[in-house]
Amino acid sequence: MGCGYYVSKQSNLLKKFDKISIRIEKKIAKYYSEKFASKIKKEARAEFESIIPEIPYFSGTINIFRELIIMSAWGVSFYKPMKKSGKTVEEVMMVVYEATEEIHKSISKPLRWLLRKFIFSPIFLKIAQISSRNVSEHPDGWKIEYKKGENKECNWYFEATECAVVKFFNKQRVPELAYYCNLIDYIQSNVIGMGMQQLSCIGSGDKTCVECMKQGRETKIPGNLKKLFENKANNKS
C-alpha cells in the first residue's frame, strides 16, 4: 500500500520519467515502429502518473532502496500498455534491459571507478545496513540484511526473506514481472564491476534472495535471466 508521499513530488517524478522514457521509446521503435513507440510512451506516462500515489516511501535521511522502487514503477508503467498491445513479458523485458543498460553505460568510466570504490567501502556497507533496517520496518518493504563477507569469495552480501519489488508487482497485478526482479541488480553489477553472484531469488520461486558481491570478479548472468539473453543473442544472429 502506498502512503501518498510521492503525490507532492509528482512534478519532479514526471520530469525524470520523461527523461528516461526517451531512451525506452527509441528501443521500442527499434523492435516495432516509431508510431507504436510514441503510442506506448504516451500511455506509459499516464500509467506512471496513476501509479505515483501507490509507490511506497521508505524512510531515512539516506535510503538506497527508494530509487529502486521508483525504477520498478517505471517498468510497470511501460509493461502494462505493451501487454495490452499483445507483447509478451520477454519482449518487454528485452526493451527494458537494453534501455537500462544504455543508461548505466552512459556513466563515464572514471565515475564508474569511483562508484565501485564507494560500493566496496565500509561507508557504503554501513549505509546499506541502516537503509535495510528502515525498509524492513515498512509492510511493503524488503525484509533484508546486509553483511560483510565471511570468506574470499565475497566482500559483502545481502539476504532477503521478503522483496519489495515482488510485492509491488503483485499489487500492480503484474506478478509475471517478479521473475525479472533482479534485472537491475545484474545490469548495475555488470556495468560498474560489482562481481555479483546470485545464490537464490525470491522472484524465481526461492524462499530467499541472496546476492554476493566480489570486487574484480566477473558478473555472471543469473539463472533466471539466461533465457532472456539467449533470445537476445538469437535475435542478433
177-208 pLDDT tens trace: 999 999 999 999 999 999 999 999 999 999 99
Every domain of the chain and the residues it spans:
5-236
Q: What is the DSSP letter of 41?
A: H
- Give the pLDDT band (50/70/90) at residue 234: low
The answer to whether 188 and 107 are in contact (CB under 8 A) is no
CB 101 within 8 A of CB 187: yes
The band of 162, judged by pLDDT with boundaries at 50, 70 and 90, is very high
The strand ranges marked E within the chain are: 143-148, 156-162, 197-200, 209-213
Q: What is the model's pLDDT at position 236?
A: 58
Confidence check: pLDDT of 1 > 50:
no
CA distance 231 to 203: 20
- Which positions ≥6 away from 63 have C-beta within 8 Å? 131, 134, 135
Mean pLDDT of 80-101: 96
pLDDT at 82: 98
What confidence category does residue 45 fall into, taking pLDDT thresholds of 50, 70 and 90? very high
pLDDT in tens, 95-152: 999 999 999 999 999 999 999 999 999 999 999 999 999 999 999 999 999 999 987 8
pLDDT category, 62, cuts 50, 70, 90? Answer: confident
